[in-house]
Chains A and B, each alone.
Chain A
């Protein structure tokens, strides 16, 4: 079975540019999560969706970040404009709904903003 699929795997861009990260959750999973991981702050939840609806975006750093989930099989995380401090690994994870369900992670997008 296909796991969570993220693209691109790596992104290097200059500050000020728009960055779009993509995620395809595991088929049948109705919860989707976007995380950011850095050495300093560890793994931080940015936003999560349940049945395509954003439930909690309290982790989104600022207005430069936005996320959408137009359907059950696709989500995007957009940063506009990007800044060097946004450099991190961004993970998407999906799960069945419910706190007892483990989350399954994609390979991540390694983002570098110059």
Chain B
């Protein structure tokens, strides 16, 4: 079983739609969770951290379910500029600095 699993997509959605991605992780000791965004031929960039109580940043909402070991990202009112690959990222456990990156979910927002 992969340490971090994501649906690779692609998710093709029209502008203005709401889209959600899920990610599951295998290490129950993991304590840090992030969503990164990667544009084609660019570096991964931090989109948001994921906190236990869930958190929101504008149109983006992240949720964590420790019992089921999954993380979600919800994007409301999708924009063309949201088109990218979204990487689910989990630390190795405890305070470990090592992060494990999922292979990403590709989102394509269309007119």
Which A residues are closer than 8 A to B by beta carbons?
31, 33, 42-43, 45, 48, 50, 55-56, 91, 95, 97-108
Give, as a whole number of angstroms, the nearest-CB distance from A26 to chain B: 13
Give, as a whole number of angstroms, the nearest-CB distance from B19 to chain A: 21
Query: Given that A99-B92, A100-B31, A100-B32 are contacting pairs, would A50 and B46 also be in contact in the complex, using a CB cutoff of 8 Å?
Result: no
Give 25 pairs: A residue, B residue, CB < 8 Å, sorted on A.
A33-B99, A42-B102, A42-B104, A43-B101, A48-B97, A48-B98, A50-B97, A56-B98, A91-B43, A91-B44, A98-B95, A99-B31, A99-B91, A99-B92, A99-B95, A99-B98, A100-B31, A100-B32, A100-B95, A101-B97, A102-B34, A102-B49, A105-B43, A107-B42, A107-B43
Which B residues are closer than 8 A to A by beta carbons?
31-32, 34, 42-46, 49, 87, 91-104
Q: Is the interface of A mostly helix, strand, loop or mixed?
A: strand
Query: Given that A100-B32, A105-B43 are contacting pairs, would A42 and B98 also be in contact in the complex, using a CB cutoff of 8 Å?
Result: no
Contacts of A95 in B (CB 8 A): 97
Query: Which residue of A has the minimal Cβ distance to B34?
Result: A102
Partner of B43, one of A45, A56, A106: A106
Q: Once the chains are docked, how many angstroms separate the CA of A97 from the CA of B87?
A: 21
